[in-house]
A and B are shown apart, each in its own frame.
Chain A
Amino acid sequence: MIDGLLILLLFQFFGEVIIRLTGIPLPASVVGMVLLLLALLLEAPFTQRVAPAAGALIKHISLLIFPLGVGIVLQWHRYEEYALALGVAVVLGTLLSMIVVTLMLKKLLGGKHQEATGSHRGDDHAG
């Protein structure tokens, strides 16, 4: 657990260092995530030990987030004027995105799937 936390904070720190040196407009934690992903893919020593801490944080991510969401209700006066735009964009926008993205994925991944079933059928014939 401590090893994992140490790795996570260290990579967040690396992210922060890169951002301060280059001035790129990205969140430091996202840069840290990319660096950690690269380190894992390159099988850097000890990086696998991140698992327990990473798992625990991700499992309880709602705990870290919901105090931010509370602000919508407690500062509603800020947003009430745009309630309709917000509701439509979030609810209808999500339904539209689901439909469009699903259709796109059917096209992009569907071809490969059929190919795979096709070759299976071929095997059956051969057998």
Chain B
Amino acid sequence: MPANLDNLAGLVHTPLFGVLLTLASYRFALWIYGRSNSLPIFHPFLVASIPVIIVLPLVNVDYEEYRDQTQIIAFLLGPATVALAWPLYRQLHTVRSVLTPIVIATILGAFISAAIAVGLAWWLGAPAEVVGSLAPKSITTPIAVEVVKSTGGYVSLAAGAVAITGIVGALSAGPIFRLLKVTDHRVKGFALGLVAHAIGTARAFEYGEKAGAFAGLALGLCGLVTAIALPWLWPWVAQYL
């Protein structure tokens, strides 16, 4: 009999357990998010984390083991990043007329967002790995967790910083646009997509299709520009950290 119980307890150390826990937590988070009318603070990224954070210590599975168990989910991040070409391609068609200012805005905006985060963290005495984790915080998570490897940062920290950036950006957008008297929906959408990536893009769609399209474009271009520039620029920045 005890042997059977041991067998049962061993179940928590299988990929099946990790994947099931992950999927169930995500399903729960989607339900909450729907009930809250898509409020950014109830974003599935945050809510889905809670059951996992509670359950893993209870069943004595540490984070490294959980990462191993859920490798099949992490693997899909690669094709998901490639998939971003599709919305980018669709948005390029809708905004062809203002493409030049948009490309300039993307390059400047991507640089500004990264520089502000890196500058603040460095000024407050964070070590190089932590500063490096924050550099890609304004870009969409699948790209950010790849790029962070080139800046020697922590994947977990980068993923969390990206999510919180998206939530803060989406929540602050309304007051900031009122304060700065922004009426142009293209500006609203583009700013949201550039700074607050996918979460900002979801918020932008509440201003309408046009704002949403500009946000989607900004998200794609900003991720692309940062992914291309950061691995080349980082060794130079790192000298000063």
Q: Hey, which bits of chain A sit against chain B, CB under 8 A?
A: 5, 8-9, 11-12, 15, 25-30, 32-34, 36-37, 40-41, 50-51, 53-55, 57-58, 60-75, 78-79, 82, 84-86, 88-106, 108-110, 112-113
Contacts and interface: CB of A to CB of B under 8 A. Distances in A.
B20 interface: no
Contact of A63 (B22, B92, B149, B180): B22
The 7 A-B residue pairs with the shortest CB-CB distance, nearest first, are A71-B156, A27-B146, A85-B124, A54-B83, A29-B81, A36-B85, A25-B231
A97 B157 contact: no
A50 B161 contact: no
B127 A82 contact: yes
A103 B169 CA distance: 15
B77 to A, nearest CB: 5
Contact of B83 (A58, A72, A109): A58
A25 B105 contact: no
A33 B98 contact: no
B117 A106 contact: no
B169 A69 contact: no
11 contacts: A26-B150, A26-B231, A33-B81, A33-B84, A51-B86, A62-B44, A66-B52, A70-B156, A71-B156, A78-B154, A94-B138
B186 A79 contact: no
B120 A89 contact: yes
A92 B156 contact: no
Contacts of B118: 89
B159 A57 contact: no
Interface of B: 22-23, 25-26, 29, 43-45, 48-49, 52-53, 56-57, 62-63, 66-67, 70, 73-74, 76-89, 92, 98, 101-102, 104-105, 108-109, 112-113, 116-118, 120-121, 124-127, 130, 134, 137-138, 140-143, 145-147, 149-150, 154-157, 159-161, 163-165, 168-169, 172-173, 176-177, 180, 182, 184, 186-187, 190-191, 194-196, 198, 223-224, 227-228, 231-232
Contact of A34 (B29, B52, B124, B224): B224
Of listed B86, B102, B117, residue having the most chain A CB within 10 A = B86
A97 B116 contact: yes
Given A27-B143, A30-B224, A64-B77, A89 B126 contact: yes
Contact of B63 (A12, A30, A71): A71
The A contact surface, by secondary structure, is helix
A74 B62 contact: yes
Nearest to A16: B78
B61 to A, nearest CB: 10
Contact of B165 (A26, A88, A94, A103): A94
B79 A5 contact: yes
Given A66-B48, A71-B63, A113-B186, A32 B81 contact: yes
Given A57-B83, A109-B186, A97 B113 contact: yes
B126 A82 contact: yes
A28 B89 contact: no
A65 B105 contact: no
A12 B66 contact: no
